[in-house]
Amino acid sequence: MGHLRDFILSHVLCVHKIAVRSGLNDKGTVEIGYGINPGYEGKGLMTEAVTAVVNWAAEQPGVLSIEAETEPNNIASQRVLEKAGFIRSGISGAEGPRYIWKKRRG
């Protein structure tokens, strides 16, 4: 799983950051976290970054799903996840609602 972490860490910009918060678990799930400099909000940059990480992770061996959570009032972050193909999991974590992206079987 070091490859996914290394890929993400090598793509950290001063504009935004995105990282794997947990390694690949026995169910094939990783968790991501992200943030953006307030001066760059609303430009689609985080949606692009999260989507790129999802697309890349989908090609990695063993990755079956990706999870993330947002603060309950952070509608913009929830929209980023939805645009990247995540859905609400129905579970709340320490920060708020959890979202999950699942690899399509095919």
Which pLDDT does position 57 carry in this prediction?
84
Which pLDDT does position 89 carry in this prediction?
96
pTM, two decimals, is: 0.80
DSSP secondary structure string for all residues of 14-36: SSEEEEEEE---TTSEEEEEEEE
Neighbours of 64 (CB within 10 A): 16
* Average pLDDT score over the chain: 83
Domain boundaries, the chain: 2-102
Name the residue among 4, 1, 2, 19 with its Cα closest to residue 57.
Answer: 4
**pLDDT under 70: residue ranges of the chain:** 1-22, 106
Which pLDDT does position 16 carry in this prediction?
57
Give 2-102's CATH code, choosing from 3.40.50.1370, 3.40.50.261, 3.40.630.30, 3.10.20.30: 3.40.630.30
- Which stretches of 1-106 are DSSP H helices? 2-9, 45-58, 75-83
Which pLDDT does position 45 carry in this prediction?
86
Distance of alpha carbon 64 from alpha carbon 54, whole angstroms: 11
